[in-house]
Amino acid sequence: MAYGRPRQRMNPADRRAQIAAAARDLMIEGGFAALTLRAVAVRCGISLAAVQHHFADKGELFKHVIELVTAEYDERYEQAVVQSHGDPERRLRYFLNYLVCEDIQSPRSAGFFYELWSLAYRGDVADEAMTQLYDLQIRRVRDLVCELNPSTDRQEALARAGVIVAAADGLMLTVGAGKRSELIRQDVPRDALVELMVGLATQPMAQ
């Protein structure tokens, strides 16, 4: 009697990553309501008990998805650090180019953030997760503004960083995946939008 090859067991870290990826896809495709542990189990081809072994409930799984999304941006920022060779302006431009010219063009990224924004408006868990994610980005840009403009007051640097991060993210609504705004119709280059944000970071503080 012939037997097929036994199914290889996935190590815990890979299994958690698989579950989180499935959860993220379900959110993108059907909203937060579509994200259930049972639906994740079906998507992964495993039992509900196997999902619950790693994540006790939907809230815990959602927090882990946010952690993974944050880690992806951390990785991109670290790449910006390496690519910039110590030049803060190059680091900022590299990171903003990623956000505006690549990240917001991805339906996967746009779909996730549209859902996250909606959840954050209605729930404390999502609001806290989103605040932590954006605070990290704002602090990074603030520090770059301070490097580019050593005379800039840290509070003004923080204000500039807030506008830059909000602009980068808000552009998802006008030039992001699937959008057809006036900016798209008039063929405004995305790198020109990046340069405007870099300019805000580099311009001297008003006396």
pLDDT per residue as tens digits for the range 146-190: 999 888 889 999 999 999 999 999 999 999 999 999 999 999 999
120 vs 116: CA distance, rounded Å: 6
The pLDDT > 90 percentage for the chain reads 82
**In this predicted structure, what is the pLDDT of residue 151?**
85
The answer to whether 144 and 88 are in contact (CB under 8 A) is: yes
**In this predicted structure, what is the pLDDT of residue 185?**
96
Dihedral sign (CA 166, 168, 169, 173): positive
Section 32-50 average pLDDT: 95
Q: pLDDT band at 207, cuts 50/70/90?
A: low
**In this predicted structure, what is the pLDDT of residue 1?**
41
Query: What domains can you pick out in the chain, each with its CATH number?
Result: 1-56 (1.10.10), 62-202 (1.10.357.10)
**In this predicted structure, what is the pLDDT of residue 123?**
84
pTM of the full structure:
0.86
- Residue 152: count other Cβ atoms within 10 Å of its Cβ: 20
Q: Is the pLDDT of residue 2 over 80?
A: no
